Structure 1
């Protein structure tokens, strides 16, 4: 086996062996079980769907979530076959044609890193708004937070995540379980609180399932599509399971299990939640969007259970949001660490360090991502339109990162794909094609102005600016400089420890070319690895 005593302490032999076949030594400790990889994220993104009315909220969630589940199936196929922390850019390099693999892998790595950090920003910005809404409710609307206060709460949230990820590494799997349970309890509480509080004012089925609205300048049909951004953003963190795959036990099963479990739970529970919310909310949609509490969900709780009840429910909501942010920082730091391990990020030799003292975690990458999130979060200080780019940056960045490896697999890499323990069989390629079409369309949604085609500085969707800067900057960096030294994922496994079976699999999969070189020591054969 390609393992030593240190590897055995970090993970089981079969997991270490699987990672070795991808060319990597086991450096992170495998603390996550199958259930602990699972992490659904049900959050309040109603401002994206309320403008389309209940139809957008209920059916927009159902349709978009179903399409996201198809993307999850395509990702689960890849995640089971090749579970590595740098999954998306690794898969891109592996499946792409030789002429394109380096620039595409480089682009995906940067887009995914910035997309995950953008996701962390959007979650923690949502946390700041939710926490502040509790203060506004408690003061009966007399407290009016400035952008500076919002940013300070946001920054405090990010830094608290950094501390937790640093000092609670050995308990991170259990924290994922707490996060999952907290989400389920929040959904259950909402299912009880809203119908009881609004028992005399519930909306009829015709309103819940058939009332279409349009509070934008777009055509009504397009507003329905824009409502998809609510589930697209909410469920968009499911690739976190891929990035912690080198810390998951039995990763070839745990990763697809986590991906499909996260999306499946969000699809079903989110759909039911939207029905409950639509049945209990005010029919004055403009009032909900313009709530003095700053959050439509806060207004909905307030209307149902009054001041004290709303404070309790919103506190529960922002605590759940905080737990979600911890998961995103873990995922972002593992992606940044993996990309640094392959020498692609600036200061890679600094960020690819693994801290044994703090439990075999990429400590420097954790704090690098936290600091970068604070810098990107400065958009909060501009205006609400700039801050909303935090949400869409996560969508656009991750969509591109998911699209390219799936596309590369079906265009260039069908013959190279070797299924893992989870595989969708004959449906695998059709699933991948549908996934690519949906990801392309949802990226267009993410860059469109929400209010209508007539935009100004206050209503502009800055996602196109931020995303273009990330993608254009990454490609410019590659063709100007990185093309001279970036050759894709590196091999970190000690070649002298490879078994014949591992050599066979690595060579057959095209990961490396393994040669035997005779050395002077009698009766010994030394192995070297060439990329």
Structure 2
């Protein structure tokens, strides 16, 4: 279906003819009527991804993983992994520009997959993506609880040592407050994203300036920052360096949230790719700067920083530079921003789950797909995400090693969900792909697709490994293998044993509102008329030219 770009047509409305915006026409072409309210601008679509990434709060949560490889892991690990993630972002931006829908990944998987694999692969992709987004909420709020409690520990000079049950209690409080905030109107949540952009950049500027000033008497030199490699694990040094990539992989892992907000974005076919690419690029550049600053001011005894009694390596780094009061102030701002990260990812995840329920893929889909009429928010999927998150978070009460799975869970789940549509478009979908406003061109698009697919396969394998040692025991086990593989096998088993009887893939709901089809038909008739008039004008001009000659 072809659409024309315009904002209004009073003459048609005066005649009683229904009118469809460009976004409505594109969505109708995909097969859906509009149910959500489009209150997100291009900047706010970028904002929801940038807010979830929450650069400094995220680095604070996972800096311990990059520190195991020393400054080289912090700086070069971030730089290389970010470049790989940008390649994936470019591939996804093309898809988001061509087919902007909240279902995104599983919808694209169905669209590009061969006929006999469409339904099971779409089903698997949707469940993996849903797990990744809810897992993202869990890992963010687990990091939030650790940061908040590290401030309490600092305030009591280390006398307060939280138990794993205390950690879960704080985590649960964060998740529940996100659930309450997540049912607010779309317009209010979009305003929060604008504020988050300003606050996140502001705290980065503060830390980048304050830490070197505070550590001016003991700054590390360039050789230490860019060439000092550590190996605080039992893995070979090279593999340990790859494991340090967990920090950027986890941090810059929310750009698909732009896709899930597509049905609430104005000019979605442009807003989605801009949001994806700009959020990755911003975190790549600012992340390198933050990591260089941290490497410049850090205590050269990296192992002591990792094992700090404060329970948070970033808190120790700030404390060594600025002292107790400044550390408490900065860490308090950081964990407040981390709270907004959790809210944003719950909102994005609820839209994915709502779209999945709209297509009948989730249990109780008929109940979950209902949109609250007054707010335009899928409140029931917000509530679902809240309680599933609380259940998954119980892992943190096992032990610290099990809690590591909370940080590997989102990227592993999302990487598979990203891999499927990108790979299927590359191999099977060339003839089906219709470029949107953002398109890399036939050759470069294929190169990007190959590179993105290769990286995602590597990342999935990498994130399955234990971080500390190759000698696997119940204590050193990376439980993300159990969680992710269990969900993947469970999703496919559920499909083949039961869901295949009724899940037919994405299904149109346009018949529920025939006015949408009427409006789109009017738009296309007008476009055809305009094209015909232009063709006639061109013929007249050519005839005049021939007469003159």
3-state secondary structure, aligned to 2:116: coil
Q: Judge conservation of contact 2:269–2:437 (CA < 8 Å) in 1.
A: yes
Show the 5 A alignment for 1:27-426: 27-38=35-46, 39-40=49-50, 41=53, 42=55, 43=58, 44=60, 45-357=62-374, 359-425=375-441, 426=443
CA distance in 1, matches of 2:20, 2:292: 44
Deviations 1:87-132 (A, max 9, x none): 0000000000001010000000000001100011000100000000
**Cα 1:299/1:165, change in 2 over 3 Å:** same
CA distance in 1, matches of 2:191, 2:263: 17
TM-superposed CA distance for 1:170, in Å, is 2.2
**Cα 1:12/1:265, change in 2 over 3 Å:** farther
CA distance in 1, matches of 2:241, 2:403: 23
In the alignment, what sits opposite 2:456?
Answer: 439
Deviations 1:423-481 (A, max 9, x none): 11131111011000000001111110000201222221101010011100000001101
In the alignment, what sits opposite 1:20?
Answer: 28
Deviates more, 1:172-181 or 1:81-90: 172-181
CA RMSD for the aligned pairs?
A: 1.9
Larger radius of gyration: 2
In the alignment, what sits opposite 1:456?
Answer: 473
CA distance in 1, matches of 2:33, 2:286: 39
Q: Judge conservation of contact 1:50–1:57 (CA < 8 Å) in 2.
A: yes
Deviations 1:302-352 (A, max 9, x none): 101111011011011111111111110011100110000000000101100
Deviations 1:241-276 (A, max 9, x none): 000110001000000011011100000000111000
- TM-score normalised by L of structure 2: 0.89
CA distance in 2, matches of 1:382, 1:431: 41
Deviations 1:24-75 (A, max 9, x none): 0000011100000113221121111000010010000000001100100000
TM-superposed CA distance for 1:18, in Å, is 1.0
What is the number of equivalent residue pairs in this alignment? 499
CA distance in 2, matches of 1:483, 1:438: 31
Q: Judge conservation of contact 1:21–1:502 (CA < 8 Å) in 2.
A: no
Match of 2:493 among 476, 494, 500: 476
Q: Judge conservation of contact 1:84–1:245 (CA < 8 Å) in 2.
A: yes
- TM-score normalised by L of structure 1: 0.91
CA distance in 1, matches of 2:179, 2:498: 32
In the alignment, what sits opposite 1:510?
Answer: none
Per residue, is there more helix in 1 or in 2?
A: 2
Q: Judge conservation of contact 1:115–1:393 (CA < 8 Å) in 2.
A: yes
Give unmatched runs, 5+ long, in structure 1: 6-10, 506-531
3-state secondary structure, aligned to 1:99: helix
TM-superposed CA distance for 1:496, in Å, is 3.7
CA distance in 1, matches of 2:282, 2:187: 26
CA distance in 1, matches of 2:289, 2:116: 47
TM-superposed CA distance for 1:500, in Å, is 9.7
TM-superposed CA distance for 1:183, in Å, is 1.4
CA distance in 2, matches of 1:165, 1:53: 38
